[in-house]
Amino acid sequence: MAGRTSFRPPRRQDGEAAKADPSPTPEADLRNAALAMLARRDFARQDMAERLLKRFGDAAPVAPLLDWLEGQQLLDDNRYARLFVRSRVARGQGPLRIRQALQQTGISTALAEEALAEAECDWFELAASTCQKRFGAVPPADLKEKARRLRFLQYRGFTADQCFAALDAAALDSSALDGDRLTE
């Protein structure tokens, strides 16, 4: 290890050892924890409040901190809802499941509806592509298989109309493929 030197902190002139900084105040701890959480991902106001209260106790001054975070535009329920919807659509989840998950994080029904409307997603097409990704282009062989696919789509949060349209699209795609094979 020639040429490598280890780092040593400079010696103090007065010969005293460096004194440790006093521990930060509880408000500073609370603010630092909130900023660390927001550095990783966005949160809804209610979700952030619940997490901070769980960590610091009910006596922690969470409300003024949340107001400050909103004033600094670090915490925004509207932005959170739009990002949440976009990420869940990318996962192949339907509007019913997304709405329920938003409400569980503390987003109001009106804001959830607004975020879903802004998504500009064709839910019928998303249901069909989700079904095709999971089961392939092969149509259901019998009613038992069709019921299985229907339950899967309902679990993913699609409405009954969207589920049946996706199953019908799979059947139409397979009949079109069969028709192409017959003409060849």
Are 105 and 128 found together in one domain?
no
Domain containing 156 equals 122-184
Residue 5: inside a domain, yes or no? no
- Dihedral (CA of 170, 175, 180, 182) sign: positive
State the pLDDT at residue 60. 84
Are 92 and 147 found together in one domain?
no
Q: What is the pLDDT of residues 95-138, one digit of tens each?
A: 999 999 999 999 999 999 999 999 888 999 999 999 999 988 88
Residue 177: inside a domain, yes or no? yes
**Of 18, 41, 75, which one is at a domain's C-terminal end?**
75
Q: What is the pLDDT of residues 15-74, one digit of tens each?
A: 555 454 555 567 888 999 999 999 999 999 999 999 999 988 888 889 999 999 999 999
Are 128 and 179 found together in one domain?
yes
State the pLDDT at residue 126. 94
Are 62 and 88 found together in one domain?
no
Token readout for 42 is 């966005």
Are 131 and 184 found together in one domain?
yes
**Of 121, 140, 156, which one is at a domain's C-terminal end?**
121
Residue 159: inside a domain, yes or no? yes
pTM: 0.75
Residue 53: inside a domain, yes or no? yes
Are 163 and 151 found together in one domain?
yes
Residue 169 has pLDDT above 60, yes or no: yes
Are 62 and 91 found together in one domain?
no
Are 64 and 84 found together in one domain?
no
Residue 9: inside a domain, yes or no? no
Integer CA distances (angstroms), 66 to 28, 50, 151, in order? 13, 11, 40
Q: How far, in Å, CA of 92 to CA of 153, rounded?
A: 10
Buried b (16+ CB within 10 A) or exposed e, 50-65: eebeeebeeebebeeb
Are 132 and 145 found together in one domain?
yes
Q: Element (H or E) spanning 26, and its range? A: helix 26-40
Residue 17: inside a domain, yes or no? no
User: CATH no. for residue 116?
Assistant: 1.10.10
State the pLDDT at residue 180. 47
**Of 50, 75, 100, which one is at a domain's C-terminal end?**
75
Residue 95: inside a domain, yes or no? yes
Q: What is the tally of structural domains in the chain?
A: 3
